[in-house]
């Protein structure tokens, strides 16, 4: 479960060798085989891995979805479908339409963080077809699940916080997320305008980024990837379906004002974009995380993860429930194939083992504190070369 290889080899090597096949998630067995560590059986990475593995054996439980996870899947899908059934069954007035439409947006946010992320890591089930089916939650929310897998696995998990490689650090020139990136004069205001642009994150994904990644790629791994023809078809079909049920049908079938529907659509995306962006940005780009200059800077990928990743609000079960366990982010990167409903006890193992070996463990007690430290980093990077 733990990627113990140097970041340059393990995950990336597996993915690169599979770039022509449909599922671009590295297999669990392939990832684990790069766990060689030359420093002996008492090394921090080996001890940590052994303890994390032993947790599931000792508890006699599966690392995949438990009852809580299946309840979340049912609840999230029921909320999304139910909100749209209510919209058409009740034929609400303008204000109630916006309320129900907004409710569907909350459901989408919940599904993206709690279901789609795990399924695209093959973390929900040992049955591939179940993960595959739930992958399309992304497409249901207007985002290409296929392209997200490529960007997330090749462009983030294999190169955390590496300028020019980690897709999560892509600021489109608007932001400077790393000290290795050139600074522009307007970046000194980035901590002020950040939340405004973060709110447009999902709009960018739906209408620009997916198409850009398919047809005008900037990353080398995207340029080298031959996308299956069916993925182009799914891209356009998914976008068409999303725009149809979110924008066209309410106007055509319910006679709602195009302006009203467009306004509700914008409101939904402002919430989705801001929420999802803050959940992820606070785990890697804060003032205490490290930004390596190259992939080989750490002798072991586990040390790379600890240096570049931070947790927050790990003692608050409500936060973990709402954000899909992504506040337990170190455990996620160490065990990407494990369902997020198991992260809390794994985080305790991570924290205790790191303390035992003197390895810095980064965390903030609250999410608001993590957001504040993210904005502190933006301010620092905007004012310093």
Question: pLDDT at position 42, please?
Answer: 66
Largest CA distance in the chain: 69
* Spatial distance between the Cα atoms of 246 and 251, rounded to a whole number of angstroms: 10
pLDDT digits (tens, 9 = 90+) for 185-234: 999 999 999 999 999 999 999 999 999 999 999 888 888 889 999 999 99
As a whole-number percent, the residues of the chain with pLDDT over 70 amount to 89
What is the band of 314 on the pLDDT scale with cuts at 50, 70, 90?
very high
Could you identify the residue written with the tokens 């438990």?
A: 66
**Is the pLDDT assigned to residue 282 strictly greater than 60?**
yes
Q: Give the pLDDT mean for 263-282.
A: 96
What is the band of 296 on the pLDDT scale with cuts at 50, 70, 90?
confident
Q: Indicate the burial class of 38 (C-beta count within 10 angstroms; 0-12, 13-18, 19 or more).
A: exposed
What is the band of 30 on the pLDDT scale with cuts at 50, 70, 90?
very low
Residue (of 304, 343, 340) closest to 157 by Cα position: 304
Question: pLDDT at position 187, please?
Answer: 97
> Hey, is 274 helix, strand or coil?
helix
The 10 Å Cβ neighbour count of residue 137 is: 24
Q: What is the pTM of this model?
A: 0.88
Residue (of 109, 131, 162, 381) closest to 268 by Cα position: 109
Question: pLDDT at position 20, please?
Answer: 32
**Is the pLDDT assigned to residue 1 strictly greater than 80?**
no
Could you identify the residue written with the tokens 């003692």?
A: 315
Question: pLDDT at position 219, please?
Answer: 84
Mean pLDDT of the residues in the chain: 89
Q: Are the C-beta atoms of residues 131 and 119 closer than 8 Å to each other?
A: yes
**Is the pLDDT assigned to residue 16 strictly greater than 90?**
no
Q: Are the C-beta atoms of residues 144 and 212 closer than 8 Å to each other?
A: no
pLDDT digits (tens, 9 = 90+) for 93-102: 999 999 999 9
**Is the pLDDT assigned to residue 32 strictly greater than 80?**
no
Question: pLDDT at position 24, please?
Answer: 56
208-240 burial, b if ≥16 CB within 10 A, otherwise e? ebbeebbeebebebbeebebeeebeebbeebbe
| The two three-digit tokens of residue 367, written as one number | 């999410």
Cα radius of gyration rounded to whole Å, the chain: 21
pLDDT digits (tens, 9 = 90+) for 129-182: 999 999 999 999 999 999 999 999 999 999 999 998 999 999 989 999 999 999
* Spatial distance between the Cα atoms of 100 and 254, rounded to a whole number of angstroms: 14
DSSP letter for 189, please: G
**Is the pLDDT assigned to residue 12 strictly greater than 60?**
no
Question: pLDDT at position 25, please?
Answer: 57
> Hey, is 364 helix, strand or coil?
strand
**Is the pLDDT assigned to residue 29 strictly greater than 70?**
no
**Is the pLDDT assigned to residue 18 strictly greater than 90?**
no
């Amino acid at each position: 479960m733990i990627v113990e290889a140097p970041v340059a080899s393990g995950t990336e090597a597996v993915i690169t060798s599979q770039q022509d096949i449909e599922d671009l998630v590295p297999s669990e067995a392939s990832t684990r085989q790069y766990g060689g560590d030359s420093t002996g059986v008492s090394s921090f990475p080996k001890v940590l891995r052994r303890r994390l593995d032993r947790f599931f054996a000792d508890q006699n439980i599966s690392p995949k979805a438990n009852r809580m996870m299946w309840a979340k899947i049912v609840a999230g899908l029921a909320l999304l479908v139910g909100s749209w059934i209510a919209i058409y069954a009740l034929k609400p007035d303008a204000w109630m339409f916006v309320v129900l439409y907004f409710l569907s947006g909350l459901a989408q946010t919940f599904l993206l963080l709690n279901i789609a992320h795990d399924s695209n890591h093959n973390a929900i089930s040992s049955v591939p077809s179940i993960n595959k089916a739930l992958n399309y939650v992304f497409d249901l929310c207007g985002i290409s699940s296929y392209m997200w897998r490529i960007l997330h696995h090749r462009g983030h998990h294999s190169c955390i916080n590496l300028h020019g490689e980690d897709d999560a650090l892509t600021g489109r020139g608007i932001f400077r997320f790393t000290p290795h990136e050139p600074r522009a004069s307007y970046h000194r205001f980035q901590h002020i305008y950040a939340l405004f642009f973060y709110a447009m994150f999902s709009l960018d994904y739906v209408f620009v980024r997916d198409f850009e990644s398919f047809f005008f790629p900037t990353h080398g791994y995207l340029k080298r990837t031959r996308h299956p023809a069916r993925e182009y078809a799914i891209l356009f079909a998914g976008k068409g379906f999303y725009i149809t049920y979110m924008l066209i049908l309410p106007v055509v079938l319910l006679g709602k004002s195009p302006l009203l529907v467009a306004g509700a659509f914008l409101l939904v995306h402002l919430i989705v974009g801001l929420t999802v962006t803050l959940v992820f940005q606070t785990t890697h780009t804060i003032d205490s995380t490290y930004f390596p200059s190259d992939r080989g800077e750490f002798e072991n990928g586990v040390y790379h993860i600890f240096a570049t990743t931070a947790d927050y609000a790990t003692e608050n079960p409500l936060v973990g429930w709402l954000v899909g366990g992504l506040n337990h982010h170190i455990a996620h990167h160490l065990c990407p194939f494990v369902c997020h409903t198991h992260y809390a006890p794994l985080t305790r193992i991570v924290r205790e083992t790191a303390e035992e070996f003197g390895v810095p463990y980064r965390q903030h007690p609250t999410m608001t504190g993590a957001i504040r430290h993210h904005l502190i980093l933006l301010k620092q990077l905007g004012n310093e070369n």
